[in-house]
Chain A
């Protein structure tokens, strides 16, 4: 019964989404307030219907309903509750439903918080979101029905892949989807603006929070995925330039460019056409990622799709939305008169440079990801494009990007001079240089890490210098504390996000100095790595909720004194007939001691030991970047529907950012 209700709710949502799209477009075109008035309630209706459908699927997973094929394929009665719930989106059908649920949440948010939007703009934005929701609902109902029944019922489910039974991975997909789908809203705003032929500061003010929110969630999602790979896959890697990872990095890069150029629209009414283009691009890349991953084209260039119907359907949606969006852009972009002139050297100019470089990095990642397929199909050559290519090709673009990132915030709007900005940064450059020289002195001639330390300190100190200047730390130190509190949160946010990237780069530079060692040890024997002694005390059997494990006890000593006892495990999941290895990680924040248990033989065990300097800072930095985005979002000038805040803002004028 519950699956049928869920299925029915999906159909209902499709009908409501189509109605929303039709009423919105027609109503806004004819200027009929009554039709437009129907759109926000319809958006709420879509949200309720998709929400109900999603709850039905979660209920089926939690109750382990073995007549539902998605449950049989992905769940098991003995699985812990968290993974029963997360198993809902740990498969193709359920994750598509989650995608649409988040889209419906966005529709609800635009409908609920958007009451102070011009009604025609709101109706058009919701109509575009309705069209997107309808397309994906049709995709789910047509090709990926999560509520399909099997008869007779299976005895029990097949279980979720053990490597995915992890808290990090439970929250990874929802965060990523919040990012992808958030860009659907900026896309909808861009399309609405193109239809109206008007982009102004108010539009920028509306688009920026959505871009910020989407980008922050995407940052968290990517960071969490990378962290998971680091602690779960067990070889200390954290980013593999895998096509699947690149698919999430592309919208992140485009979104990052978008949220910066939206600032220019909001403050200076310049770069309008470009910002609209970026808003289209960010969502196009989100959809492209979805297509590449779902259709199976990336797994093998020969089989077009694991299920051809799905691949073709998503390709159709991709063409419709992206093609439609860009066609509209080509047709209407001229209608938007360029305004807001500025000199090449100015805050605007710096943001143009940021956009240019970020988009170039995105182009490299996109071309690198698709090139093997292109070479195979068009040139008939089989080539590989792997991490060495991406590292080499993105570095020359990343260096000027990072260099300019610290300088940009010191540039005044409209017209600036480079020299005064640089003068404020000389001590930052000195600190960065000192860090790089220190690295060279301690670690020998290692260009990569030295460059990384320079970039990291340049960004972190640069963000601090920016902050110190804003609060007048050096010019008027006594008033600095009060000014820091009065500073708009957006200023805190941007300093934190820029510094956060520096922290991430610090971690990457540290990981460039990582060392590891592989050894066959008998109990009582020990091995030395990077100043630590690792002594194997023994290996015992252990039992988990749904697995049996071999558990080693490794004593870590430094100068003969015990530091920590680590317990790396090898887990066998009888149900999935799979073995996973759980690395034991001890972090001192300056380095991770990372021990992996290998096979047992000749009365001993193979241990792989890594010493990873500064590793946790990679994800800490990602967290800071997302937090910076969140702070910016909470700025009362960005907060969208706040009539009360508007009144206070008038009494208490905000400090100029």
Chain B
């Protein structure tokens, strides 16, 4: 069902993007750069698709803009900044680091930190002596547990 809904969203536009060879830049290296940049940019009218994946009019226009900029010798940052200035944060699939997205970008660190604190806290509260290897009694219990379902 989940896939199904995704599929419904995707077929809202024709099945694939970049169908016109004339769109491509003649220089293969530049075209490659344009594609990598295109995957960082959202097709603003689509459901969560990059401009490289969408066949919407707008995506086509944005692809053209990216290729024009790349062909004009702009750097990757300059191209992204240009589109960011025109379309706002929404166009960037990698959200910029701002006060509003700090929480988002900090998630890996926060999650790990919270988990580590929890583990340390629990260990300290228990304050158990450093355990030795399994005692014969524990070995026997383990073996017994392995037998009985």
How many angstroms between the C-alpha atoms of A384 and B148 in the bound complex?
53
* Residues of B in contact, count (CB < 8 Å): 64
The reply to whether B131 and A342 contact each other, CB–CB distance below 8 Å, is yes
A residues less than 8 Å from B3 (CB atoms): 169, 172-173, 225, 228-229, 244
A519: Cβ under 8 A from any B Cβ: yes
A427: Cβ under 8 A from any B Cβ: no
The reply to whether A389 and B7 contact each other, CB–CB distance below 8 Å, is no
B residues less than 8 Å from A205 (CB atoms): 145, 149
How many angstroms between the C-alpha atoms of A225 and B147 in the bound complex?
39
The reply to whether B2 and A235 contact each other, CB–CB distance below 8 Å, is no
The reply to whether A173 and B4 contact each other, CB–CB distance below 8 Å, is yes
A606: Cβ under 8 A from any B Cβ: yes
Q: Which of A233, A289, A385 contacts B95 (CB 8 A)?
A: A385
CB-CB contacts below 8 Å: B100-146 with A: 100-101, 103-105, 107-108, 110-112, 115-116, 119, 122-123, 126, 128, 130-134, 142-143, 145-146
Q: How far is the CB of B111 from chain A (nearest CB, A)?
A: 4
The reply to whether A341 and B126 contact each other, CB–CB distance below 8 Å, is yes
How many angstroms between the C-alpha atoms of A601 and B47 in the bound complex?
29
CB-CB contacts below 8 Å: B1-52 with A: 1-11, 14-21, 24, 39-40, 42, 47-48, 50
The reply to whether B89 and A383 contact each other, CB–CB distance below 8 Å, is yes
Nearest B residue to A645 via CB reads B149
How many angstroms between the C-alpha atoms of A315 and B24 in the bound complex?
47
Given A89-B1, A649-B147, A235:B126 Cβ within 8 A:
no
A545: Cβ under 8 A from any B Cβ: no
The reply to whether B53 and A235 contact each other, CB–CB distance below 8 Å, is yes
B70: Cβ under 8 A from any A Cβ: no
A469: Cβ under 8 A from any B Cβ: no
The reply to whether A389 and B19 contact each other, CB–CB distance below 8 Å, is no
The reply to whether B108 and A393 contact each other, CB–CB distance below 8 Å, is yes
The reply to whether A225 and B16 contact each other, CB–CB distance below 8 Å, is no
Nearest B residue to A521 via CB reads B21
How many angstroms between the C-alpha atoms of A578 and B14 in the bound complex?
9
A248: Cβ under 8 A from any B Cβ: yes
B residues less than 8 Å from A357 (CB atoms): 112
B94: Cβ under 8 A from any A Cβ: yes
The reply to whether B93 and A386 contact each other, CB–CB distance below 8 Å, is yes
How many angstroms between the C-alpha atoms of A313 and B128 in the bound complex?
47
By size class, the interface of chain A is 35 or more
Given A225-B3, A235-B53, A386:B20 Cβ within 8 A:
no
The reply to whether B93 and A384 contact each other, CB–CB distance below 8 Å, is yes
Q: Which of A356, A375, A389 contacts B112 (CB 8 A)?
A: A356
How many angstroms between the C-alpha atoms of A653 and B144 in the bound complex?
9
Q: Which of B16, B131, B146 contacts A656 (CB 8 A)?
A: B146
The reply to whether B107 and A368 contact each other, CB–CB distance below 8 Å, is yes
How many angstroms between the C-alpha atoms of A379 and B89 in the bound complex?
13
Given A519-B21, A599-B19, A359:B111 Cβ within 8 A:
yes
Nearest A residue to B90 via CB reads A382
The reply to whether A596 and B107 contact each other, CB–CB distance below 8 Å, is no
A residues less than 8 Å from B91 (CB atoms): 384
Nearest A residue to B128 via CB reads A341
A residues less than 8 Å from B24 (CB atoms): 518
Given A244-B5, A387-B39, A518:B18 Cβ within 8 A:
yes
The reply to whether B48 and A266 contact each other, CB–CB distance below 8 Å, is no
Nearest B residue to A294 via CB reads B1
Given contacts A383-B92, A642-B149, 20 further A-B contacts (CB under 8 A): A164-B4, A173-B3, A176-B1, A233-B15, A233-B16, A235-B16, A240-B53, A244-B5, A268-B142, A371-B104, A375-B100, A382-B88, A383-B90, A384-B92, A386-B93, A389-B95, A414-B133, A579-B14, A599-B19, A646-B148
Q: List 23 A-B contacts (CB under 8 A).
A: A90-B4, A161-B11, A169-B3, A173-B1, A234-B15, A244-B2, A266-B145, A299-B9, A363-B108, A367-B103, A371-B95, A371-B103, A375-B101, A383-B92, A384-B90, A385-B93, A393-B108, A518-B24, A608-B18, A636-B149, A640-B149, A646-B149, A649-B149
User: Shortest 9 CB-CB distances between A and B: which pairs?
Assistant: A386-B93, A388-B94, A363-B111, A360-B111, A95-B1, A356-B115, A341-B128, A244-B6, A244-B2
